[in-house]
Amino acid sequence: GVVVRGAGTGTLRITGTRERGCSEHSIIPDRVEAGTFMIAATATGGDVIVKDVIPRHLEAVTAK
């Protein structure tokens, strides 16, 4: 287990403990990679299908 302090600040302090516990996490889609493919398709006049993204994370690319 660990103790994590500093969430929302510029520094995270992670300290290990002897106690073990369960945790859950998920890996979000890579917005930079998805945006790069979208821009490349636009620049070349091509088509691309981007699946399993979080649209809110691509607003900088999709905003008009």
pLDDT digits (tens, 9 = 90+) for 5-49: 998 899 999 999 888 777 788 899 999 999 999 999 999 999 999
Structural domain boundaries enclosing 57:
2-62
pTM value is 0.60
| Domains contained in the chain, number | 1
Please say whether the dihedral angle defined by the alpha carbons of residues 40, 48, 31 and 60, taken in this order, is positive or negative.
Answer: positive
Q: What is the mean pLDDT of residues 40-59?
A: 95
Give the integer Cα–Cα distance in Å for 10 and 35: 26
C-beta of residue 31 within 8 angstroms of C-beta of residue 55: no
Please say whether the dihedral angle defined by the alpha carbons of residues 46, 50, 55 and 57, taken in this order, is positive or negative.
Answer: negative
